[in-house]
A and B are shown apart, each in its own frame.
Chain A
Amino acid sequence: MKSLLKLGVAALACAVIAGCGQGQDSDQLVVGFSQIGSESGWRAAETRVAREQAEARGIDLRVSDAQQRQENQIRAIRTFIAQGVDAILLAPVVETGWDAVLAEAREANIPVVLLDRRIETADEDLYLAAVASDAVEEGRVAARWLAEEVGDRQCGVIELQGTVGASVANDRREGFAEIVAGNPNLTIVRSQSGDFTRSRAKEVMESLIRSVGGPNICAVYAHNDDMMIGAIQAMTEAGLNPGEDILTVSIDGVPDIFRAMAEGQANATVELTPNMAGPAFDLLEAYLDDGTAPEKWVRTDSPLYLADTAEAEYAQRRDRY
């Protein structure tokens, strides 16, 4: 059944691409975008924002959904090369194995920009630039807010990690730990993995509340907002008051955390912007215009959002994610 579905999607994609090919005027920029899939609300938002950004700039954007498979992404890139697009955006599903197909793109003189994840390669010239957030900095921003908020108070922090071994989890942990080390009144009392999911984080938080004791928890730091939403439920059900008695800070900026902040159950979130395509189009336009070489790693901002703007942010994001 799945292969049949795939066949249908492929046929549809062919039809769409063929349709685009016809009414195209010569000076319009054509960009191919190989997206990983739509496995999370954030990923869906990234695609949506990319389309919006392309439309605003009059760019013809062709999106190919790889359904989490590298071979689909490689095939999509080869298709884009065959179509002679002006540039390719690639959100790589894994870090390695891109050298051959990127070399083909380079031979065809098509610049490739990586979105939101970077790759491991011996030859950095294979791609023009990477637009990605700095996950270590995200951890730092979260910890800096917490350090400022508690002042000189002793504060025991519970950390909910992402999936063990995921590079984002490692980076967000590293950045947070770096700032905590410089503030002796902050201590991480427990650090457990919640696998980036609501239900696992809720289960883990229930146990941690029991073993640490609710009154001894001063703050909770979660590597993503979804885990924080699970943790907030666990705390509320244990009779604690997250957002008031227990400070919370997490990362991503998904709509539901803004709602929790507006309701006074969460304090802060560090946004991982879904607008990766905007900066990519900026640097591509500059490069194709006069050959301006961009920075190899364009870091997107990691802004901090607090409860005061939560209501407005929720309204704005609700339909995008």
Chain B
Amino acid sequence: MSAFKDTTRWLMTARPQLAALALVLGLNMVIAPGFLELTWSDGRLYGSPINLLNRAAPVALLALGMSMVIATRGIDLSVGAVMAIAGAVAAVLVNSGAPWPVAVAAALGAGLACGLWNGVLVAVIGIQPIVATLILMVAGRGVAQLITDGRILTFNDPGLAAIGGGAWLGLPIPVWITLAAAMALIVLTRRTALGLFIEAIGVNPAASRLSGVNSRMVLICVYMVSGLMAALAGLIVAGDIRGADANNAGLWLELDAILAAVIGGASLYGGRLGLSLALLGVWTLQGLKLAILRSGLPAEYNLIVMALLIAVILALQSPAGGRAWRRLTPSRREIAP
């Protein structure tokens, strides 16, 4: 299949998500007319779009992992807590004199271990995903607090700080991490059979097992990917504030990730994997947050306005919204005799 055909097909499926993103970006431009302006200084790009991509990075990583989990008809509630654990592990290690690559490797290892734990609970022991990951969601933050002793562990290691606040080739490093993770996962799921296996498990676990898919192994891998993504997000958040805040790092972000995946067209009944669409969902959410912040609305209205706008977007993407849209814009097929 040609690349052109691929692109047009993607554009067709991504229509609702692209429309929502365009809507939110438009809203931002109304609120702050210079929204799309980019400036170059100190060897890096500055501007609101860059800020949006940079700030969206942690939730983007979570949403990539979450989309894969959701596509298997699962859910991973523990990602916020895993972020806190990863940040805590990295901060403790650099503060005890370890070089930053070691700290990063250990944090990613902790994320993989958390994912393995979730995967085993779901795939081997057979606990329902929402319950299985709830265990780590509650206990994980406690583990992070034990690691940091309940305080915010500040560090000065420039390497670890750069993961959250550095720049490379003009773009913030969190943006590069997001793009690299997205590319790797898209290639992994679309150029190999893994994506098909994941969707098959989501549609019908029994049938996929009978047709030879090693669903146990695939499920464990998927939860480990989610854990790894959460650990990356945790490193970014810790690097950004140069400190590991076990109580607040990643708090409630699992819900943002689920929401982004749903805006990206995922079905909580599984079977639909759209990583790039989930990213569009994340950027839409972050755009909404930016618009609300820039509007100067009193803080009390933040959540209510956010909820209303999200409800509007989801309604427009729903089957009913789609029917209304088609009625307003008659397609060519209906006009043709």
Residues of A bordering B, CB below 8 Å: 1-2, 5, 38-41, 43-44, 161, 164, 190-193, 195-200, 202-204, 206-208, 210-211, 226, 229-230, 233, 237, 256, 321
Q: Could you say which residues of chain B place their CB within 8 Å of the CB of A190?
A: 296
Docked complex Cα distance between A5 and B145 (Å): 14
Task: Decide: B139 and A1 in contact? CB cutoff 8 A.
Answer: yes
Given contacts A41-B150, A44-B150, A207-B290, contact A230 B299 (CB under 8 A): no
**Binary contact track B90-111/A, C-beta < 8 Å → 1, others 0:** 0000000000000000000000
**A21 CA / B84 CA spacing, docked (Å):** 39
Q: Does B130 contact A (CB under 8 A)?
A: no
Q: Is the CB of B300 within 8 A of A2?
A: no
Pick from A38, A193, A211: contact of B150, CB under 8 Å: A38
Closest to B34 in A: A210
A sample of 20 more A-B contacts (CB under 8 A), given A5-B139, A44-B150, A208-B293, is A1-B139, A39-B145, A40-B150, A41-B151, A164-B302, A190-B296, A193-B299, A195-B248, A198-B241, A198-B245, A198-B248, A199-B241, A199-B245, A206-B55, A207-B51, A211-B32, A226-B245, A233-B241, A256-B152, A321-B151
Residue of B nearest to A67 (CB): B142
Verify A2–B135 contact, CB threshold 8 A: yes
Query: In the complex where A204-B293, A208-B293, A210-B32 touch, is A39 in contact with B242 (Cβ < 8 A)?
Result: no
Beta-carbon contacts under 8 Å, B224-264 to A: 237, 240-243, 245, 247-249, 251
Given A40-B247, A44-B150, A256-B154, A210 and B48 contact (CB-CB distance below 8 Å): yes
Closest chain-A Cβ to B172's Cβ sits at a distance in Å of 11
Do A207 and B152 have beta carbons less than 8 Å apart?
Answer: no
Contacts of A39 in B (CB 8 A): 145, 150, 247
Q: Is B217 an interface residue (CB 8 A)?
A: no
Q: How far is the CB of B168 from chain A (nearest CB, A)?
A: 16
Shortest C-beta distance, A41 to chain B (Å), equals 4
- Residues of chain B contacted by A229 (CB below 8 angstroms): 241
In order of increasing CB-CB distance, the 9 nearest A-B pairs are A193-B299, A41-B151, A207-B293, A197-B248, A38-B150, A198-B241, A211-B294, A2-B139, A199-B241
State A277–B251 Cα separation when bound (angstroms): 31
Cβ–Cβ < 8 Å partners of A211 in chain B: 32, 293-294, 296
Contacts of B302 in A (CB 8 A): 164, 193
Asked whether A199 and B145 contact (CB < 8 A) given A44-B151, A237-B165, the answer is no
- Measured between beta carbons, the chain A residues less than 8 angstroms from B237 are 199
The residue in chain B whose Cβ has the minimal distance to the Cβ of A160 is B299
Interface: B298 (CB within 8 A): yes
Can you pick out 21 interface pairs between chain A and chain B where the beta carbons lie within 8 Å of each other?
A1-B135, A2-B135, A2-B138, A2-B139, A2-B142, A38-B150, A164-B299, A164-B303, A191-B298, A193-B299, A197-B248, A197-B251, A198-B152, A199-B241, A199-B249, A206-B55, A210-B32, A211-B294, A233-B165, A237-B165, A256-B152
Rounded to whole angstroms, the CA-CA distance of A5 and B248 in the bound complex is: 22
Chain A nearest CB, measured from B44 CB (Å): 11
Report the Cα distance A203→B135, complex, angstroms: 30
Q: Which residue of A lies closest to B295 (CB)?
A: A211
> Residue on B with the closest CB to A321?
B151
The chain B residue with its CB closest to the CB of A204 is B293
Please indicate the chain A residues that have their CB under 8 angstroms from the CB of B48 in the complex.
210
Among B151, B243, B302: residue with most chain A CB under 10 A? B151
B52 CB to nearest A CB, Å: 10
